[in-house]
Chain A
């Protein structure tokens, strides 16, 4: 696909044109942190950031989403019957998403778009969205994307990859969806012959700046029950306070709850983000809880991302190496360290010699 050169003077005008046809989302700075927001008409995304504090998953998968509406008033002819809530699946674009976060959607898609069942809300919102990626010229110290199946210039899951070339932007159209957005913006100036080379060299530089890594090659060969029963979970989970921050800001965590919320004689049934860190997530009606201790819950989070997902889909780990959980964990639990422990675990090495 072709590379377009966008002069910085044409940036704001193009964005305005995009907003005529798309609901546009982009990073906006709050008091301290950047997060993705829907941009008001004429508002520009603030691309002066390394990554947002929260992942952009809510653009496709809102934290709370109404599925159905109902009436509890027996005078209504359709009382107690679920009705589809009104939805807006008009075209959306997210501008400035980092490549790791865009590839995260592909991992999550395996959960919501299965051969047997399709989650219509996730799928339709995903399909309505055009992903305009923003290549990372300067990855952070907690980024380990290159060994987690992604990378600072990774194109998986993107429709366009934007590269900041200093005096101009290069926009590489990756899909037809991406080309359409570039046309809408009126960005149509083919880049000079050197652009591809320039992007390639920026990519190499960025990849060379990644300073942390995970090894994942042995995970699939480990026995689930041996990893599960390994003694290291006590140490890994010791400091955890089950706050759920890691799952909340993770781009690949998708767990949810379903709740009815009534207001007078009507109400809605909705999906809400949930977290494996909370005891209520799994407690039975009887009070029995199969994941009743924090060790169970911490183990579930890491086993899900680094073992169950690996075995279920045979397509790598359920992590893109964005590093958010490492940066925001209040007790410094580090998925890179846990991954190393799991990947190199040898149950025999832990056995005490029989005397």
Chain B
């Protein structure tokens, strides 16, 4: 974060000050046109280095004159020169953002929150389970793990990703490219397809998880990200497959403002989703009030 305050002669970062960015590219991702990916470049050289992040973190997108929204970082730390966010059109800020154009100036503030537990995941099998548009930080994770410098740090990578229809899947070109690789096992599914050329799975994520997810063992971690209904029905499947609750990793969302654990609204018990999360193990969540 870029603002500087002098305190006793020492420069202290102002955590509320966004880095100025320019919209470099806008991609409409889904057939309902409600999801767009925004690629940002930093206006000030040096800010990109300060915005050093890990997959699973988020940032506040600052639309000047409208406000800020907390959005997971969809680009991977291995991708340089830009940062990417996929935004669903929901409220005041996201709707306005959807009307903005390439070249417009705004801000991003972050990176914020913890990340997926990459130190724990090193040397392990990783099963990624995603649904709908909650696939953004999972994309960041996959791109990062598949990077030639990183792939050898992980054993098997399985990805189960579902959407309502083929046209509602995010990042379709990349999904197709990952399908062709032999170092990642893709299990793409849709609730229903009217496309006769659809060559992947049909069925809800919990059902596909039951069929395709590897059996649990001490070296296998599942990362789940998706709508509440998907999580609700996938968790019993993982229980059945024997996954321990400390091996089930989830990323939460709550209404946020500050993103730094101060403004008081996103807490679940004593933990702030913005600062102590957004990533928690199910074992951690079992010990907190379910206010998300």
| CB < 8 Å A-B pair total | 137
CB of A255 within 8 A of CB of B5, answer no
Count A interface residues, CB 8 Å: 54
A193 at the interface (CB under 8 A from B): no
CB distance from B97 to the nearest CB of A (A): 12
Count B interface residues, CB 8 Å: 48
Return chain B residues, CB-CB under 8 Å to A267: 64-65
CB of A291 within 8 A of CB of B264, answer no
CB distance from B85 to the nearest CB of A (A): 15
CB of A80 within 8 A of CB of B255, answer no
Residues from 163 to 221 in A contacting B, C-beta threshold 8 Å: none
Return chain B residues, CB-CB under 8 Å to A286: 90
CB of B18 within 8 A of CB of A82, answer yes
Complex CA distance for A281 and B62, rounded to whole angstroms:
19
A254/B7 contact (C-beta < 8 A), A72-B64, A81-B20 known? no
Return chain B residues, CB-CB under 8 Å to A303: 269, 289
CB distance from A337 to the nearest CB of B (A): 22
B291 at the interface (CB under 8 A from A): yes
A328 at the interface (CB under 8 A from B): no
Which listed residue, B65, B258, B260, touches A260 by the CB 8 Å rule?
A: B65
CB of A124 within 8 A of CB of B5, answer yes
Return chain A residues, CB-CB under 8 Å to B265: 255, 274, 276, 281-282
CB distance from A49 to the nearest CB of B (A): 30
CB of B255 within 8 A of CB of A308, answer no
Return chain A residues, CB-CB under 8 Å to B269: 224, 228, 303, 308
CB of A116 within 8 A of CB of B264, answer no
Complex CA distance for A258 and B291, rounded to whole angstroms:
21
Residue of B with least CB distance to A275: B264
A47 at the interface (CB under 8 A from B): no
A117/B261 contact (C-beta < 8 A), A258-B68, A283-B255 known? yes
- Chain B: residues with CB nearer than 8 A to chain A? 3, 5, 7, 12-18, 20, 43, 62, 64-68, 90-91, 94, 104-107, 228, 253-255, 257-258, 260-267, 269-270, 275, 287-292
Q: Please list 26 pairs of residues, one from A and one from B, whose beta carbons are closer than 8 Å in the complex, sorted by A's number.
A: A72-B65, A81-B20, A82-B3, A82-B107, A114-B262, A117-B275, A118-B12, A120-B5, A120-B7, A120-B12, A124-B5, A224-B270, A224-B289, A225-B287, A255-B263, A255-B264, A255-B265, A258-B257, A258-B258, A267-B64, A267-B65, A274-B263, A274-B264, A274-B265, A281-B255, A309-B270
- Chain A: residues with CB nearer than 8 A to chain B? 67-68, 70, 72, 79-82, 84, 111-112, 114, 116-120, 123-124, 127, 224-225, 228, 254-260, 262, 267, 269, 271, 274, 276, 281-286, 288, 290-291, 296, 300, 303-304, 307-309, 311-312
